[in-house]
Structure formats: C-alpha cells, structure tokens
Amino acid sequence: MVSPQPRMDDEPLPHLRASLEAALDAIAPDIARILDASLGGREVTVEEGARLFEADGPALSALMGTADELRRRANGDAVSYVVNRNINFTNVCIKHCGFCAFSRDHREEEGYFLPLAEIIRRAREAWDLGATEVCVQAGLPPKMDGSLYIDLTRELKRELPDLHIHGFSPEEVLYGAVRSRCSVEEYLGALKDAGVGSLPGTSAEILDQSVRDRISPGRITVEQWTDVIKTAHRLGIPTTSTIMFGFGETNAQRAAHVALIRDIQKDTGGFTEFVPLSFVHEEAPMFRKTVEGVAAGATGAEVVRMHAIARIMLHGWIDNIQCSWVKEGPKLSQLLLDAGCNDLGGTLVNESISTAAGAPHGQLTPPSDLRAWVRDMGRVPVERTTLYGVRRVFETEPAEPEPMDAAKEHAAELFGSYHVLIGLEEWRYEGQRAPSLEGPTWQEIQLRRKAKADGMPQPS
C-alpha cells in the first residue's frame, strides 16, 4: 500500500481552485457585488436584500458562505443555548389571527387557563431542573383584569427571585395597558418593577401594515408594535426581535422588515437577537380556509436564505441570529449554523403555539441534545443567560447527565403535552378569571385520576 503523501502548504490545488472559480463565475454579478460589499463592511439596502432572496445554485452557496463568515467574525465558533421553559398559560384569545392555530375562543371546549399554583409549579420545576429562564406568553382572554401580567410576574418572582422572567409580547403589553387604562410606558414600568427581565419580540410577523390587515385584522399595528418595543428599550427592558415568513409575503417585504429591525436597533440598541420563524401551515386557519393565496410554509432554501440574509443585513447591529429548532427541526437547524446562525434558542420543555399549528418538535430538547447538534457541526456549545451572558463553555461533555437530560426519559409523565392540556376539564376556561391559587396542579390531577382508576378515595 502506498502511503498518502502529505500536502505541501504551497501546493496550488489546481482542481479545487478551478472548481471554486467556476462557481464564483456562475454567480450573477450584482449578487456577487452585494456579497463582496457586505464582507467589506458596507450596509445592505432593502433593494439589495430583496435581490439576495433570489439567490440559488452557486449564489445560494455564496450567500451561506458570506453569512457564515460574518457569523464567525461576530461570534467565533461558539453556538449558544439557554436552559428555559415555556409557560403558555392560556390559549383563550379575543383575537382571531389567521396564522394562529393555538388560540381558542372563550366558548370553545378546548380553551384552558392554568391556575397560578400550576404556573408557579412549572416554573419551580424548571428551576430545579437547571433552567434560568421562563418564557411566559399566552392568549388575550376576554375581560381580563389589566393587572394579570403584573400580578403573575410578581408571584413568580416572589417564589423564585433569581429566575429570569422573559415575558409578554408587545400584543400582550398593549392589551394589558388598554385593560388597565394606562399608557404603554406606565404598564411597561409596572412590569419591570414586578420583575420582568426582558420581552419576547413576537407578534411582529411581517411589519407591513397591508400584510397584517390581510392575515390578522385587528392585530397590533406596525406603529403600535414599534412603540411598545422602543418604549421597552428606553425603560431598560431588552427584547428579542422576530419575523414570520413563508406564508406568501414578498422578498421586498421580508427585506424591509429586517431593515426596520435594524433601524430600531440603531436608535435603541435594545434587541438581544433576531429570530426568523417560518410559518407552520398545517393547522393554521388562514391556510385551511380564511385567506386566499397563502403558501404552505417556507421551503428549505427559503429558510436558509432568510437566516443568511438576516445575518448579512444585521451585521454590526445585532450579533445573535437564532434558529428555531421547534420550527425547523434538528437537521435543518444544524445546517443553519453554517448559514449565519450562532444560537439554538432554548430547551423549552413545553411549547404549545407551534405545536398547535402542526410543528412536531416542541416538547423538550435537553441540553445534551443541543450540544450534540453543535459538536456535530464542529462548533463549541455554550450555555448562556437570557441576555447572552456566558454561563458555561462545554469544551468537553459532562461526565454525568444534567437534571433536564434525565427528565427527558419521563417527559410525558412529568410535563404533560399540549394535546393532553387542551383536554383537561380541571383547567377548562370558564369565563374571566384573574390568576389565583385555586385549581389543581398537574401532579394533583394525576393523583386524582390514578385514585379514581384504582377505586380509591380521591385526594382533596
């Protein structure tokens, strides 16, 4: 057997160079110039961003490579995640957004509202399993007491003072302010005083009013969303930023949305990350019946373009581009780590909103799985805080499993599921109700049902 010859550093690599040069020559000149300029530090315009959404073939590969290089400059080889839990405490909502399969009218039999005891129990369970954050979002229940979100935050912080509350979308903040008959600024101040540490920048969808009027009439307007976000930032409350794409919006609308996020960041500096969220169409009302011309979600190539272009357009302003494993699944999420992404989001434990729409990945991805995805891509896993402080860098995998890794084996029993949740009579929504300690916890429901099945007296 002939031993392989070591490659000399000055070897010309003629075949590889010729192949790469041919690929470069195949890229449309205007796209090549945009990518080259972005690598040189020039800001990409809305028109140029829209053009990049047309990249395919070698141009798509070049788009990914450009985004990956900008990612490397901003973040190195680190890929971060946060250990957290979602608490979607009610699905009852006065709005009827066409893309949302999660919400239920208050008269529907699948409407639920978690009692405060269960909300706190979920948060404490997450803390005991190593979580540093709970993400609290829900529907907008009718006739809601305006202090609901403030009271809920205060109770959570009383029980778990060191837990970060990442809570309440701009839509919820606006609703709370309206119900409280106060200004958005006053309401945000009260949330901050109660212990909210950051806001999810959801309810953004596409920040184009004509699109919003078509897919979600009555939804928070672009002007209102921007006002809530800028006010939060001014008060020292950081937020995330998002986009929903893949339902039939135009390339120009996508690019304009990202540019608006960039402009807000230039003004406030309050965004921690940007999260593209592809439209999950399977159960979405507007795909099934209510809005004509809705696409069946984004293609794989569209998902890659969206994340890569976000990295390119936001470079120098927002360092963290997150891919949603709930929306995209583990394999595509891994690919996105080579297309500009540096963050995998959180462990979630319970995710109801995407699950209700038909996404199959929303229950729990433990930290060890997230780290395995990262290592498989040749990168370094980093556990972070909500605000991107570094908690732990995992050069090697821990010798012993972490609590949330062990919990995966009993996830259904421990955490339930969305489909079980909407079938529980014990948490059925029965009209307006502020949070209270009334109502059983998940464990109490299980004990009662086991006692009933065994013919034993039920626990009180």
Pair of tokens at residue 299: 């293609």
Average pLDDT of the residues in 240-268: 96
pLDDT tens digits along 134-154: 999 998 988 889 999 999 999
pLDDT tens digits along 63-112: 999 999 999 999 999 999 999 999 999 888 876 655 555 445 545 667 88
Average pLDDT of the residues in 262-268: 98
pLDDT tens digits along 327-351: 999 999 999 999 999 999 999 886 5
Pair of tokens at residue 378: 């040749």
How far is Cα 31 from Cα 36, in angstroms, rounded to an integer? 9
Task: Confirm if 60 and 68 have CB atoms less than 8 A apart.
Answer: no
pLDDT of residue 2 exceeding 60: no
* Nearest CA-CA partner of 272 in 334, 329, 346: 346
pLDDT tens digits along 46-74: 999 999 999 999 999 999 999 999 999 99
Q: What domains, with CATH codes, occur in the chain?
A: 78-421 (3.20.20.70)
- Pairing, β 84-87 against β 271-278: unpaired
How far is Cα 273 from Cα 240, in angstroms, rounded to an integer? 5
HSE at residue 76, side-chain half, CA atoms within 13 A, is 6
In this prediction, residue 24 has a pLDDT band, given cuts at 50, 70 and 90, of confident
Pair of tokens at residue 85: 């839990």
pLDDT of residue 32 exceeding 60: yes
pTM (predicted TM-score): 0.90
pLDDT tens digits along 354-406: 454 444 555 688 999 999 999 999 999 999 999 999 999 999 999 988 888 88
